[in-house]
Amino acid sequence: MILRSSDSLHRELDSEIDALAERYELTGEAGDALQRLVRLVDWEAPNFVRKASSRGGGGRKKRRDAASMRRVASNLLSQSLAGIESGPVRTARRLADIGSGAGFPGLVLAVVLPQARVTLIEKVPNKCSFLRRAVSELSLANVEVVEGNVLEWSEGLASCDVVTSRKVGRPVKTLELSAPLLAQEGWVALWPGTSAFEEEVPETGAGLRVVQTIPLKWENRNGGYATRHLYLYEKVGES
């Protein structure tokens, strides 16, 4: 297979972002920022962030081909933006994203929700470096990056309207990590990860209960589509 150039990939993603911007009635500034974001991400890399090269070069993970890059980028952009279909996410004033990685969904939500103060929590140093660079290059004044484990973020306790996460771990454990960060009447939004995710999502847990699900269109490696779900939990008791 001949890999398409990065310029070709970016043009294709720009068109998808234009369509998403129209669907969600995003401002021109937000659409432009998302287009700049896709140019910062290393879509070939397994975790989207290029690691510093090592002299030995051993153990290097296989990089994505062109078709996979387009598919993965499209899935992440559309699914991250689906969060604003939820009223609590759309109107959040204080939002924390656990295990932010390359910024999906946290950085995307920060772009389209300028009224929200967003904290991106990530424990891997090179991913934090990427997030800080992206925040700077996108001129996002509403974002802070916290490097470390969410359990160490004591200033965030009982302060967040919404806590988000994608592929952090098993849903039950993620709810346990998220609940202490919630203010009264706070919400947790869980994006799907592995294919087993849907089977592991509890109806209740850690003083939370599912009150809304948002269907997500998921393009697979074979060019087909499946439906997964974004789960919205409301705080109903003490964690």
Q: Is residue 80 part of a domain?
A: no
Nearest to 6 by CA among 33, 45, 53: 45
Residue 103 maps to which CATH number?
Answer: 3.40.50.150
Count the domains in the chain: 1
User: How confident is the model at residue 53, as a pLDDT?
Assistant: 43
Q: What is the pLDDT of residues 25-82, one digit of tens each?
A: 999 999 999 999 999 999 998 888 865 443 344 445 668 888 899 999 999 999 999 9
Section 160-182 average pLDDT: 95
Q: What is the pLDDT of residues 186-219, one digit of tens each?
A: 999 999 987 778 889 999 999 999 999 999 999 9
The pLDDT score that the predictor gives to residue 85 is 97
Domain-embedded: residue 76:
no
Structural domain that includes position 154: 85-235
Residue 52 lies in a domain: no
What pLDDT is recorded for position 17? 97
Parallel, antiparallel, or unpaired: how do β-strands 182-191 and 225-235 relate? antiparallel
pTM: 0.92
For residue 39, tell me if it sits in a domain. Answer: no
By C-alpha distance, which of 129, 87, 131 is closest to 111? Answer: 131
74, part of any domain? no
**Does residue 7 lie in a domain region?**
no
- The mean pLDDT value of the chain amounts to 91
Determine the pLDDT at residue 64: 84
104 assigned to some structural domain: yes
Q: Between the CA of residue 90 and those of 4, 94, 98, 114, 200, what are the distances in Å?
A: 35, 11, 18, 10, 26
124 within a domain of the structure (yes/no): yes
pLDDT at 6: 81
What's the whole-number mean pLDDT along residues 6-16?
A: 92
